[in-house]
Amino acid sequence: MITQEPAVPPRGGGLLRVRLDIAYDGSLFSGWALQPGLTTVQGVLEGALFTLLRRQVRLTVGGRTDAGVHARGQVAHIDLTPAEWHAMARGRDVDPADAFLRRLTGTINRELTDGVTGRGRSVRNSVPAVVVRSAAKAPEGFDARFSALWRRYSYAIADTTTGQDPLRRHTTLWHPAPLDVALLNEGAGHLLGMQDFAAFCKPREGSTTIRELQRYEFTRGHDGVITATVQADAFCHNMVRALIGSTLRVGSGEMPPGWLAERLAARLKDARSVLAAPHPLVLEEIAYPGNGELAARADLTRARRTVDHLAPTDPHAARSPEDAPTSPLEGSPAQSEA
């Protein structure tokens, strides 16, 4: 597991940015970000990259997930030298992107078997816990974190109407009371738009809790499982789980739908701000603008957003998708957005 500062890339030409699209089962990991002595998704990937490139490489990620949270649509980038990129093909007539993905996949699998499952254990023909789905040269101006327009999460819930399914226990919340989907959606509607979500975020000194919640809705599938869809320009720490945990109190009839609006207006995180369990939460997608708008979007994101900068009547006020340091290490590794 690589935890040191990243080494300076080898000299020779400008750096080439590579976009990685990643999926993972978060059950085995203490979140995405590097943490001393703990197994993390970033640690596994950077360990594999170290083995492949013989130097330390630091990943920049689109959305830092918390312990136990999964991803189907995670995005990250790394910077390589052109020589490193083209060396992946080893002089053969193959696309360096295909060669890099194939070699990285094999290295990740060894890293997982030796460092995560332990004692060399593996399950034949099973899907590994971390999969890099694609690797490609990124367009000019692309930044996995700062160019993002929005992040979308899903959250699966089974209640007494659905019944218990032991095969879903690692990815679905069991709620021991019936839930009214209409009440869930009525309550969720109070939270949409550009708001200060201080009541639903773990505070960080000097950071804003203003976010634009673009979608927040609940649907019950044919199997009875309720799926929450939560989409925002970005999420502050624990925001998604706090939103779900509070809204479930409305869906069960414990609190009226307007209670969520009251909580939002109070801007106070207290004992009533209960976090939903992390294991049903999945980062489904991170969206980016067209190639010609990537750099401008990244510049806009880096502009800190504060209450004073927001004009309530101006829907085009500056929207910073994530409040975070501009350091390449991206702030404290223990901080996650959802």
DSSP state letters, 250-274: HHTTSS-THHHHHHHHHT---TT-P
- The pLDDT, as a whole number, for residue 92 is 73
What pTM was computed for the model? 0.86
Query: Pairing between strand 150-158 and 226-232?
Result: antiparallel
Do residues 89 and 101 touch, judged by C-beta distance below 8 A? no
Report residues of the chain scoring pLDDT below 70: 1-13, 91, 114-125, 304-337
* CA–CA gap between residue 294 and residue 286 (Å, rounded): 13
- Largest pairwise CA distance in the chain: 66
Using a 10 angstrom Cβ sphere, with 0-12 exposed, 13-18 middle and 19 or more buried, the burial of residue 300 is middle
* CA–CA gap between residue 78 and residue 60 (Å, rounded): 7
* CA–CA gap between residue 304 and residue 208 (Å, rounded): 8
CATH class of 16-137: alpha beta
Q: Please give the structure tokens belonging to residue 113.
A: 């078997």
Which segments of the chain does DSSP mark as H helices, in order? 41-53, 82-87, 96-115, 181-189, 239-251, 258-266, 294-302
pLDDT tens-digit series, residues 193-236:
999 999 999 877 777 899 999 999 999 999 999 999 999 999 99
- The pLDDT, as a whole number, for residue 10 is 52
Whether 16-137 and 150-285 share one fold: the answer is: yes
* CA–CA gap between residue 95 and residue 75 (Å, rounded): 21
- The pLDDT, as a whole number, for residue 115 is 61
The SS3 of residue 230 is strand
The domain 150-285 having CATH identifier 3.40.367.20: the answer here is no
What per-residue string of b and e applies to 78-102 under the rule 16 or more CB within 10 Å gives b? bbbbeebbeebbeeeeeebbebbbe
For the chain, give every domain's residue range: 16-137, 150-285
* CA–CA gap between residue 324 and residue 236 (Å, rounded): 10
Do residues 134 and 20 touch, judged by C-beta distance below 8 A? yes
Count of all residues that appear for the chain in the document: 338
Which residues are known to be catalytic? 66
Which sign does the torsion angle of CA 146, 150, 156, 157 carry? positive
- The pLDDT, as a whole number, for residue 269 is 84
- The pLDDT, as a whole number, for residue 246 is 96
